[in-house]
Structure 1
Amino acid sequence: MNRFSYLILAVPFYLVLSFAMVQVVNRVLPVTDTFFLLLLTLTILLINLLITKLTLERVIPRAAKLI
């Protein structure tokens, strides 16, 4: 997978995943402390970066070989 197609897949996947996780955490755990909210958001973004990287580098190429 070349760099351009990687970015085309990664950016929307990352944005949707980040938005969904922030919404779920916001509903489950209402946070009033700004620092804790910032820390929680940064943690979610880093976890999503890892999920996106693993998905695009390992799962999609394996699925493409099966087709």
Structure 2
Amino acid sequence: MPFANFKLPEGALTKAQKEELIHKTTQMLVDYLSEAARPHTMVLIETVPDGGYGRADEVFTIPEAYRAGDLA
């Protein structure tokens, strides 16, 4: 079973963008593995709250300019 796991800052993608990421990731795996992989492909998008991870020894918070407008 193909499995893709994305960890993204909370609020970075809209619901529509998450759906698009799932569809495009599934299609990419089908392109590599064949259509038989589609029903078994799992795509997981995990959101990490601000302050829940770090980069270069600093706690990271997503800049306002990178936040999605529609958080549905």
**TM-score using structure 1 length:** 0.46
Whose strand fraction is larger, Structure 1's or Structure 2's? 2
More helix by share: 1
TM-score of the pair, normalised by structure 2: 0.44
